């Protein structure tokens, strides 16, 4: 398990606190309302969710407390224990124990009042570390609604730390909580009340505690809780990950665990069992049930939503609505953004003199910004939609239902929503993998997501199908041949993603079949302000991180398609323009002729550009797939965005700005021939080209966002390499086998 970075997330939120400011950690189980409380106390909204792994980084913000002034609150990932079992829990462990940084002045433990036993186990671990602790008994309103009565004053006495009942969603008790935190910060730490252990386990802990006190004198006062934590954690972490642990302490812990195993004892169970016995005592003495909780309506809904058949039906309807949002509802916004970018480009073109700087600004910078901003509507709608499902309690039930299917190929149940979103766009889909808490499962999902046939591929399919298949060609039952070809592409997409997941799970990303352990949260009405602000944070994260990479790559692609300029070509077309201007009297006819020359000049310049030359270099590699250098230039252009393949072909074939429905482009493609005189675009070569685009990952926006989400270039490079190789081999097999079977 790799320790999480010490840095704290978010641009507005601070990454470190001045030494004069007290540091308060906000810790708690997943689904305890921890992030919502953090937002309420500090005024900063962070991501909230209803199953593990939503808050995946530490987030901090400055707030002011009475009599104290400015303090730094740090929101930690949800964790069930200080014995870390996941990367997120490791973040919480490092912060609470002060490893690799400053130890906190106080830990605010957020406990779910409706599940007090589980919350108190984690709280008792933190209390044992010996620091200042305040427990926020959250969701007290829901506990009352379920007929639970909690004596928080008695609980405070038994634990030895302040306990404040609150309801963070309605802000009940927040002022009292702030006052309690301020008061506790001004008092020394209280004596730690430790659960009693059986004699063998007690002796083991005390023996290791003596070694801790000797090798780390600054921990002498809390040597027993440190020893307890180490004995529970050492089996799960390699030596280099137990930061700050002296080698002699590590050896002593290894020896104690080994001796216990030889004696037939399970030291973990002895310590954990003692803790749970202590927690059970606390719950019995402080919690009473005034009436039977009324959860019949919840159970009835769950009976439908988690049913193996009806659950899938409901989910299909929900996903249909999501698709409608991503494909249709976002279209007007996307169109408005594209129109705005085009208008800005035209305005600058009209007002600036022609030259390299104008070309860079118009076709590089502004086009690059447009390539970034155009994703915002889909990203915002996806995260808003997922946020509603999460906060309402539905997404956890979906993961439970879908896990039966996804688990067969090694994918996690939570992979389904990102993969389905990939049919719209891989960029927001990759970002949606954040909800998968296990890094291996998350990386596996990212590595296969680009295989889902996104909407940007559709213009390519439409162009190729419209070019190589007759419009009236039908199969049995009057089904269009083009429709069958399009359906086949999407079928190949899904099949390839599932096959790749199965192979990667057994090779590069080895691991057992993912086990989905979910806590079914109660159904709740989502809070609008939390949803919209968390959606904005996701959008802002994309714009500031992945967006900068996309912008840079767009400018690079523009330069590759534009330079070097061929002086002879420019001079030749300038002479032709002069001839047109002097020989054609009619203004409209003259303008049309000049525009035609401009299109041809652009095509000639592209053919002599870096990308054009690379296309010719690629031709021997592409020829076995039925493609030539012109298609190679289109593939290079598609790195900016897949649909750019269409407009790039328009330039290469001297058509100008063209879309997939352009009849002139289709006619030019039908008539295009290879060097040997054979037709370039045939049904067979068109099918091979579509198969290549189904499987290839040549979208730089996807590569950029995978680099951001994975934290390194290793994974996007691997993803690009294996998918490009798979696309090449598949297209080669289609074309060559088709030729052997007599197809053209």
Q: Which two tokens stand for residue 509?
A: 């990303």
Q: Is the pLDDT of residue 590 over 50?
A: yes
Q: With 0-12 CB in 10 A as exposed, 13-18 as middle and 19+ as buried, what is 442?
A: buried
Co-location of 93 and 181 in the same domain: yes
- What is the separation of C-alpha 573 from the centre of its chain, rounded to a whole number of angstroms? 49
State the average pLDDT for the chain: 79
Lowest-pLDDT range of 20-29, 114-123, 243-252: 243-252
Return left, alpha or beta for 659; rule: phi > 0 is left, psi -120 to 50 is alpha, else beta: beta
Q: Is the pLDDT of residue 240 over 70?
A: no
- Residue 175 in any domain: the answer is yes
Q: How confident is the model at residue 276 (pLDDT cuts 50, 70, 90)?
A: confident
Rounded-to-integer distance, Cα 82 and Cα 97, Å? 9
**pLDDT, tens digit (0-9, with 9 covering 90-100), for 408-458:** 788 877 787 788 778 777 887 888 787 676 788 889 999 999 998 887 787
Give the helix/strand (H/E) hosting 72: strand 69-75
**pLDDT, tens digit (0-9, with 9 covering 90-100), for 330-374:** 778 878 888 888 898 889 888 888 778 887 888 778 876 776 677
CA atoms within 13 A of residue 492's CA, in its CB half-sphere? 20
Q: How confident is the model at residue 667 (pLDDT cuts 50, 70, 90)?
A: confident
- Dihedral of alpha carbons 719, 236, 27, 390, sign: positive
Q: How confident is the model at residue 52 (pLDDT cuts 50, 70, 90)?
A: very low
What pLDDT, on a 0 to 100 scale, did the predictor assign at position 239?
45
- Residue 15 in any domain: the answer is no
Q: How confident is the model at residue 625 (pLDDT cuts 50, 70, 90)?
A: very high
What pLDDT, on a 0 to 100 scale, did the predictor assign at position 216?
75
Co-location of 205 and 179 in the same domain: no
What pLDDT, on a 0 to 100 scale, did the predictor assign at position 50?
32
Co-location of 219 and 117 in the same domain: no
Co-location of 655 and 719 in the same domain: yes
Co-location of 732 and 639 in the same domain: yes
- Residue 303 in any domain: the answer is no
- Residue 510 in any domain: the answer is yes
- Residue 282 in any domain: the answer is no
194 vs 133, higher pLDDT: 133
Q: Is the pLDDT of residue 222 over 70?
A: no
Rounded-to-integer distance, Cα 59 and Cα 37, Å? 13
What pLDDT, on a 0 to 100 scale, did the predictor assign at position 327?
58
- Residue 436 in any domain: the answer is yes
703 vs 39, higher pLDDT: 703
Q: How confident is the model at residue 7 (pLDDT cuts 50, 70, 90)?
A: very low
Co-location of 464 and 613 in the same domain: yes
Co-location of 708 and 661 in the same domain: yes
Say how many C-beta atoms besides its own lie within 10 A of residue 323's C-beta.
Answer: 15
Co-location of 103 and 181 in the same domain: yes
Q: How confident is the model at residue 321 (pLDDT cuts 50, 70, 90)?
A: confident
- Dihedral of alpha carbons 109, 113, 114, 117, sign: positive
> Which of 185, 207, 238 is a domain's end point?
185
Co-location of 59 and 148 in the same domain: yes
- Residue 474 in any domain: the answer is yes
Please tell me the total count of domains within the chain.
3
Tokens 């104290």 correspond to: 68
Which three-class secondary structure string do you get for 289-328?
ECCCCCCHHHHHHHHHHCCCCHHHHHHHHHHHHHHHHHHH
What pLDDT, on a 0 to 100 scale, did the predictor assign at position 53?
32
Lowest-pLDDT range of 495-504, 541-550, 560-569: 541-550
Are the C-beta atoms of 109 and 34 separated by less than 8 Å?
no
> Which of 157, 185, 213 is a domain's end point?
185
What pLDDT, on a 0 to 100 scale, did the predictor assign at position 553?
63
Rounded-to-integer distance, Cα 388 and Cα 386, Å? 5
Lowest-pLDDT range of 238-252, 563-577, 586-600: 238-252
Co-location of 126 and 35 in the same domain: yes
Are the C-beta atoms of 373 and 427 separated by less than 8 Å?
no
Please state whether the predicted TM-score (pTM) of the whole model is above 0.85.
no
Give the pLDDT mean for 593-597. Answer: 79
372 vs 314, higher pLDDT: 314
Co-location of 179 and 209 in the same domain: no
Q: How confident is the model at residue 550 (pLDDT cuts 50, 70, 90)?
A: low
- Closest C-alpha among 491, 522, 401 to residue 138: 522
Cβ neighbours of residue 402 under 8 Å, at least 6 residues apart? Answer: 315, 413, 416
What pLDDT, on a 0 to 100 scale, did the predictor assign at position 554?
65
Q: How confident is the model at residue 724 (pLDDT cuts 50, 70, 90)?
A: very high
Rounded-to-integer distance, Cα 320 and Cα 310, Å? 15
CA distance between the termini of the chain: 54
Cβ neighbours of residue 353 under 8 Å, at least 6 residues apart? Answer: none
Are the C-beta atoms of 134 and 189 separated by less than 8 Å?
no
The DSSP string of 342-402 is HHHHHHHHHHS-SSHHHHIIIIIIIHHHHHHHTTHHHHHHHHHHHHHHHHHTHHHHHHHHH
What pLDDT, on a 0 to 100 scale, did the predictor assign at position 1?
35
Q: How confident is the model at residue 464 (pLDDT cuts 50, 70, 90)?
A: confident
Q: Is the pLDDT of residue 303 over 50?
A: yes
Q: Is the pLDDT of residue 56 over 50?
A: no
Q: Is the pLDDT of residue 538 over 50?
A: yes
**pLDDT, tens digit (0-9, with 9 covering 90-100), for 202-219:** 888 888 888 888 887 766
- Residue 167 in any domain: the answer is yes
Helix (H, G, I), strand (E, B) or coil at 403: helix
552 vs 272, higher pLDDT: 272
Tokens 């400055």 correspond to: 62
- Closest C-alpha among 596, 617, 615, 597 to residue 606: 615
Domain holding 249, by residue range, is 199-267
Cβ neighbours of residue 445 under 8 Å, at least 6 residues apart? Answer: 411, 412, 415, 418, 419, 433, 436, 501
Co-location of 415 and 453 in the same domain: yes
Q: For residue 100, give the CATH number of its domain.
A: 3.40.50.300
Say how many C-beta atoms besides its own lie within 10 A of residue 214's C-beta.
Answer: 14
Share of the chain above pLDDT 90, in %: 15
Q: Is the pLDDT of residue 226 over 80?
A: no
> Which of 267, 285, 302 is a domain's end point?
267
Give the helix/strand (H/E) hosting 620: helix 610-622
What pLDDT, on a 0 to 100 scale, did the predictor assign at position 638?
80
| Number of H-type helices and E-type strands within the chain | 33, 8
């Amino acid at each position: 398990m790799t320790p999480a970075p010490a840095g704290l997330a978010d641009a507005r939120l601070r990454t470190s606190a001045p030494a004069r400011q007290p540091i308060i950690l906000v810790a708690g189980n997943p689904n305890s309302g921890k992030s919502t409380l953090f937002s309420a106390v500090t005024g900063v909204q962070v991501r909230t969710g209803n199953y593990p792994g939503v808050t995946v980084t530490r987030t901090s913000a400055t707030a002011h407390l009475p009599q104290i002034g400015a303090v730094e609150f740090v929101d930690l990932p949800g964790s069930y224990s200080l014995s870390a079992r996941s990367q997120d829990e490791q973040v919480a462990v490092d912060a609470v124990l002060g490893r690799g940084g400053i130890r906190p002045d106080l830990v605010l433990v957020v406990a779910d009042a409706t599940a007090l036993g589980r919350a108190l186990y984690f709280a008792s671990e933190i209390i044992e570390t010996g620091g200042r602790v305040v427990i926020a008994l959250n969701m007290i309103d829901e506990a009352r609604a379920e007929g639970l009565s909690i004596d928080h004053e008695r609980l405070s006495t038994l634990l030895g730390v302040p306990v404040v009942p609150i309801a963070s969603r309605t802000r009940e008790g927040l002022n009292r909580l702030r006052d309690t935190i301020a008061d506790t910060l001004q008092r020394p730490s209280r004596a730690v009340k430790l659960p009693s252990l059986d004699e063998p386990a007690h002796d083991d802990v005390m023996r290791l505690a003596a070694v801790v006190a000797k090798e780390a004198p600054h921990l002498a006062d809390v040597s027993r809780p440190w020893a307890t934590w180490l004995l529970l954690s050492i089996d799960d972490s390699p030596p280099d990950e137990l930061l700050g642990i002296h080698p002699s302490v590590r050896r002593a812990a290894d020896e104690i665990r080994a001796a216990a195993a030889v004696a037939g004892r399970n030291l973990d169970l002895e310590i954990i069992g003692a803790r749970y016995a202590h927690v059970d005592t606390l719950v019995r003495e402080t919690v009473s049930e005034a009436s039977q909780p009324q959860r019949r309506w919840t159970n009835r809904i769950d009976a439908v939503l988690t049913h193996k058949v009806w659950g899938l039906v409901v989910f299909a309807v929900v996903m249909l609505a999501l698709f409608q949002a991503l494909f249709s509802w976002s279209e007007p916004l996307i169109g408005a953004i594209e129109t705005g970018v085009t208008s800005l480009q035209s305005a600058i073109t009209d007002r600036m003199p022609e030259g390299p700087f104008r070309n860079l600004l118009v076709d590089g910078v502004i086009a690059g910004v447009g390539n970034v901003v155009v994703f915002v509507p889909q990203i915002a709608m996806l995260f808003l939609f997922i946020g509603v499902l999460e906060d309402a309690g539905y997404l956890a039930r979906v993961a439970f239902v879908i896990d039966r299917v996804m688990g067969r190929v090694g994918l996690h149940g939570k992979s389904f929503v990102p993969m389905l979103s990939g049919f719209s766009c891989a960029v927001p889909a990759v970002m949606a993998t954040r909800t998968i808490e296990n890094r291996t499962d998350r990386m596996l999902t990212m590595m296969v997501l680009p295989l889902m046939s996104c909407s940007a591929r559709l213009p390519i399919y439409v162009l190729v199908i419209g070019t190589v298949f007759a419009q009236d060609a039908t199969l049995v039952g009057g089904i269009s041949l083009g429709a069958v070809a399009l359906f086949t592409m999407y079928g190949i997409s899904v099949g390839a993603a599932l096959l790749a997941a199965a192979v990667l799970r057994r090779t590069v990303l080895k691991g057992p079949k993912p086990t989905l352990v979910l806590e079914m949260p109660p159904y709740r009405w989502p809070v609008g302000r939390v949803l919209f602000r968390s959606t904005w944070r996701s959008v802002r994260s994309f714009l500031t991180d992945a967006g900068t990479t996309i912008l840079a790559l767009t400018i690079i692609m523009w330069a590759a398609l534009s330079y070097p300029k061929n002086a002879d070509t420019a001079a030749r077309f300038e002479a032709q323009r002069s001839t047109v201007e002097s020989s054609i009297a009619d203004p409209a006819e003259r303008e049309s002729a000049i525009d035609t020359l401009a299109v041809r000049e652009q095509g000639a310049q592209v053919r002599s550009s870096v990308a054009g030359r690379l296309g010719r270099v690629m031709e021997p590699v592409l020829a076995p797939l039925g493609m030539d250098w012109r298609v190679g230039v289109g593939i290079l252009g598609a790195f900016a965005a897949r649909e750019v393949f269409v407009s790039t072909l328009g330039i290469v074939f001297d058509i100008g700005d063209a879309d997939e429905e352009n009849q002139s482009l289709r006619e030019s493609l039908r008539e295009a021939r290879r060097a040997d005189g054979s037709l370039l675009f045939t049904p067979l070569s068109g099918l091979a080209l579509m198969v290549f685009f189904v499987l290839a990952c040549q979208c730089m926006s996807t590569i950029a966002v995978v680099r951001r989400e994975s934290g390194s270039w290793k994974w996007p490079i691997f993803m690009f390499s294996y998918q490009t190789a798979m696309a090449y081999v598949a297209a080669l097999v289609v074309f060559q086998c088709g030729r052997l079977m007599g197809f053209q």
